[in-house]
Chain A
Amino acid sequence: MEEVKNNKITDKIWDFFASVKLAIIIFALIAITSIIGTIIEQRAEPAKNIEVLTKLFGESLAPGLYTIFEKLGFMDMYRSWWFIALLVLFSVNIVICSLERLPRIWKLVKEPIGPMSEEQLKKFPIKRELILKGKIDKVRETITGAIKASGFKNYKENKEEKSLQFFAQKGNYSRLGVYLTHFSILIILAGAILGMSLGFKGYLNLPEGARSNVAFSYNGKEIPLGFNIRCDNFDVEFYGRSDMPKEYRSWLTIIENGREVLQKSIVVNDPLTYKGVTFYQSSYGLITENFNRGIFILRIVSGDSQISNLNLRAGDTFQIPGTSISGKIIDFSPALKIDRHGHAFTYANQMNNPAVYIDFSESGKQLLSGWILKRHPETWQLPGGHRVEFLDYWGVEFTGLQVRKDPGVWVVYLGCIAMSAGLFIAFFMSHRKIWVKAIEEKNNTRLLIGAFSNKSSVAYERKIDRLVSVINKRQEGGK
């Protein structure tokens, strides 16, 4: 007590943080500001949020409100100093409130239980009474057997006048489940801080064939990787003939000290990790300035099955093996569509339907010309049984990679496991106590059972009923 009196200011601070009012205020503030953060699009173009605010508050108020919200940091609020301060306050509150209650709970966990009088037993929320034939010594085994069978392995015994009492408790530590849950929140927040301070988040748009030894943070700064990463190829696969993407795949190679150390093709949900840096498939696109510098990968099969694999550029000519037919690459479209009047046009600025226009001629004489489409093999067939397979137009796409290093992620995962375990203990386990008092009356034994659980007593009551029926059965069987 002396010590407490000496620290009046710290005492006041403690009380402030231990108050439930503060907890509610923090809860409410986090919730309300979070809601605002989901309505205002985070890190978006100002025009977008001015539009949102106009919708909600009208044209006259929107610009003013935007300025106010921007000044308060709502445009990137989850990273603003005051939101982080709220999270810190929240953690401090959890710690203090938990500590405040810990001594009482710890006492309940550690406290051994003692024998009870008959009057006390009769006041229990769960109580049963039954008469067994025979003296205590005879029924003793039956009782202890039933207690053990209900899961109370370490029961204690107390000899009293003309009676014998057994009592036991289990699941004492389940009372600490809530502490594990609270603690896990702190572990997760610690993991998040660890990741923020020692790791990085960035992106890298890597053209096919290019390599990089840096990634870029979202404010444009270079982040050295310590090794090189090269994109060997990128491809989108579609469902059937539709434009619905089935798979985005990048073939990546890690190069360190001039040696290729790792090769992997990544898709969404299956990233590549090297030396703690993880590369996620996140976007893709066309590089328009490379448009005429890409390489057409063609496979030519002549009518008599002679095959040649070719890498060509726009304007190049090639020969169908074993014939005098030559083809010249004239044009390319990343997403070709033919309109109703038979005109070809490009309908998207992604490689949704790559097509190459080829002029064929035989000994200088124009033969035919037309579009050959990568996704439509029926356009590969030429008269005379020849086939021009359009496999890829390489070097004009880039893969958009999300790059991340987060040494804290394992701490976060550990916190998640702790939280799951804590919640399971807190909600699905309970601290249960039982007392069985055997009182000798003439040639019979009267049993008084009292039981207590800190959680749902309905389930425990059923368990006690089962214990009673076990005793009854053994008694009959023993006769």
Chain B
Amino acid sequence: MDSSFFFGLSTMAYILAMIIYITYIAFKKNQIGILATTVTIIGFVSQTLAITLRWKEFADFIGMGFIRSAPLTNLYESLVFFVWCLILGYLIIEFKFKNRSFGAFITPIAGLALAFIDISGMSKEIQPLVPALQSNWLLAHVVMSFIGYAAFALSFSTGLMYLIMTTEKRNGSSYIFWTLTFGIFLIVLISMGIDFLKFHVVVKPEIFIKSYMFKTSFLNPSSVVKAISWITAIIIFFIIWRYGHILKTVIEKFNITPEMLDEITYKSIAVGFPIFTLGGLILGAIWADQAWGVYWSWDPKETWSLITWFIYAFYLHSRMIRGWRGKKVAIVSVIGFMAVIFTYLGVNLLLSGLHSYGSA
């Protein structure tokens, strides 16, 4: 059995777990909850095995020793590791807060991300390491960055849930903020899905996102299609804005209080921030110093990491010094994660710079 077998197994387990978690929320039977947790743990264990096996396959392939063969060198491997961190973080929260409802939110993200890798035809092949990546810093830098990203992802989902739960009035700014955010995510996903159906056979996924994103909808050469896309987008926004309170009633069934969400948001950031600072910024700077002779070169990846860092620093200061709680900081945590997504994917896919190997 090789790594791909266990990757497949973990993908199935996460999708199955998602269904069981949703059933659990509907019926609130303890046995179902335990089953959901068990399936998630099975998925997690098989994913751990898969990563370990791939690590070994990688080490055998490039022959550069164990530490330098960490399977974290391209988009596929980093997405897999991100999902692994996310599930680990979720299991810790489930254990600490003794609350399972949250799993219905996290396991779909995990299952969908892994399924997305499969469908998109992203290159899963083991690629040899280019000279710049042959360093012992790779492991610590990437692992810690991704633990940080995963913690921020958790804070994003709890922050967003907080906003959904606590906003009442449709003309309130927090309500508009979360429906807008939700809408943007949904519209980007939908239009990328359409692009994908139309173009993915022709090109590799990296090139796909770089040159074909929104080409079927918002950037279509025909102005009629362009106009229809914008009108559809506005209609989607309107529907989410009009019926957003349905999500609120759904989340209220989860047995989660807003205070708890606020606390999980804060704690995830309080763990993610120092780890991201050390692993992403500091270790990244030390490595850059060794490889390129500059510890800080304002390369787009570095700059975006710094912007992300600023946003979370702002979150922490506004909370600790100004005593902000609730909606205001939840909004900051949502914005923070958008910066994370851009640092992780957007920079590699849309901007050029020294860090460009992450996109391959």
- Any B CB within 8 A of the CB of A271: yes
Contact A268 B307 (CB under 8 A): no
Contact residue among A30, A248, A281 (Cβ-Cβ distance under 8 Å from B310): A30
**For chain B, what secondary structure do more than half of its interface residues adopt (helix, strand, loop), or is it mixed?**
helix
Residues of B within 8 A of A20 (CB): 321-322
- Any B CB within 8 A of the CB of A269: yes
Contact residue among A27, A239, A282, A409 (Cβ-Cβ distance under 8 Å from B289): A409
Residues of B within 8 A of A35 (CB): 303, 307
- One of A4-12, A38-46, A372-380 at the interface: A38-46
Bound complex: CA A16 to CA B310 (Å): 21
Contact residue among B277, B289, B291 (Cβ-Cβ distance under 8 Å from A419): B277
Contact B131 A402 (CB under 8 A): no
Contact B307 A31 (CB under 8 A): yes
Bound complex: CA A440 to CA B345 (Å): 66
Bound complex: CA A31 to CA B321 (Å): 21
Residues of A within 8 A of B310 (CB): 27, 30-31
Total cross-chain contacts (CB, 8 A): 97
CB contact list, A406-444 vs B, under 8 A:
409, 412-413, 416, 419-420, 423-424, 426-428
> What count of chain B residues pass the 8 Å CB interface test?
41
Contact A247 B295 (CB under 8 A): no
CB contact list, B290-348 vs A, under 8 A:
290-296, 298, 300, 303-304, 306-307, 310-311, 313-314, 317, 321-322, 347
Contact A38 B351, CB 8 Å, known A239-B128, A248-B131: yes
Contact A246 B128 (CB under 8 A): yes
- Any B CB within 8 A of the CB of A276: no
Bound complex: CA A212 to CA B296 (Å): 27
Contact residue among A30, A38, A403 (Cβ-Cβ distance under 8 Å from B347): A38
Residues of A within 8 A of B314 (CB): 24, 27
In the complex, how many angstroms separate the beta carbon of A119 from the nearest chain B beta carbon? 27
Residues of A within 8 A of B313 (CB): 27
Contact residue among A201, A412, A423 (Cβ-Cβ distance under 8 Å from B293): A201
Contact A34 B134, CB 8 Å, known A201-B293, A412-B295: no
- Any A CB within 8 A of the CB of B1: no
Bound complex: CA A404 to CA B310 (Å): 29
Contact A269 B322 (CB under 8 A): no
Residues of B within 8 A of A268 (CB): 131-132, 134, 291
Contact residue among A23, A31, A271, A423 (Cβ-Cβ distance under 8 Å from B274): A423
Residues of B within 8 A of A402 (CB): 292-293
In the complex, how many angstroms separate the beta carbon of A178 from the nearest chain B beta carbon? 8
Residues of A within 8 A of B194 (CB): none
Residues of A within 8 A of B285 (CB): 412, 416
Contact A423 B277 (CB under 8 A): yes
Contact residue among A41, A244, A420, A426 (Cβ-Cβ distance under 8 Å from B278): A420
Bound complex: CA A440 to CA B271 (Å): 44
> What count of chain A residues pass the 8 Å CB interface test?
48
Bound complex: CA A33 to CA B277 (Å): 21
- Any B CB within 8 A of the CB of A245: yes
Name the residue among A20, A31, A239 with the largest chain B CB count within 10 angstroms. A31
- Any B CB within 8 A of the CB of A285: no
In the complex, how many angstroms separate the beta carbon of A81 from the nearest chain B beta carbon? 16
Contact B293 A246 (CB under 8 A): no
Name the residue among A23, A42, A267 with the largest chain B CB count within 10 angstroms. A42
Closest B residue to A48 by CB, please name it.
B352
Contact A31 B131 (CB under 8 A): no
Name the residue among A20, A37, A41, A423 with the largest chain B CB count within 10 angstroms. A423
- Any A CB within 8 A of the CB of B181: no
Contact B274 A269 (CB under 8 A): no
Bound complex: CA A27 to CA B335 (Å): 15
The interface bits of chain B over 23-39 (1 if a CB of A lies within 8 angstroms of the residue's CB, else 0) are 00000000000000000
Contact A271 B290 (CB under 8 A): yes
Contact B303 A427 (CB under 8 A): no
- Any B CB within 8 A of the CB of A78: yes
Contact B351 A34 (CB under 8 A): no
In the complex, how many angstroms separate the beta carbon of B224 from the nearest chain A beta carbon? 20
Contact A245 B293, CB 8 Å, known A419-B282, A420-B282, A427-B270: no
Contact A34 B274 (CB under 8 A): no
Contact A201 B294, CB 8 Å, known A246-B131, A420-B282, A424-B274: yes
Bound complex: CA A42 to CA B300 (Å): 10
A-B interface, 8 closest residue pairs, ranked by CB to CB distance from nearest: A423-B274, A38-B300, A268-B131, A280-B293, A78-B298, A404-B293, A402-B293, A239-B128
Given contacts A20-B322, A247-B131, A268-B131, 14 further A-B contacts (CB under 8 A): A27-B313, A34-B298, A34-B307, A38-B304, A78-B298, A268-B291, A269-B291, A271-B293, A280-B292, A282-B292, A282-B293, A420-B277, A423-B277, A427-B271
Q: Which residues of B contact A (CB under 8 A)?
A: 127-128, 130-132, 134-135, 267, 270-271, 273-274, 277-278, 282, 285-286, 289-296, 298, 300, 303-304, 306-307, 310-311, 313-314, 317, 321-322, 347, 351-352
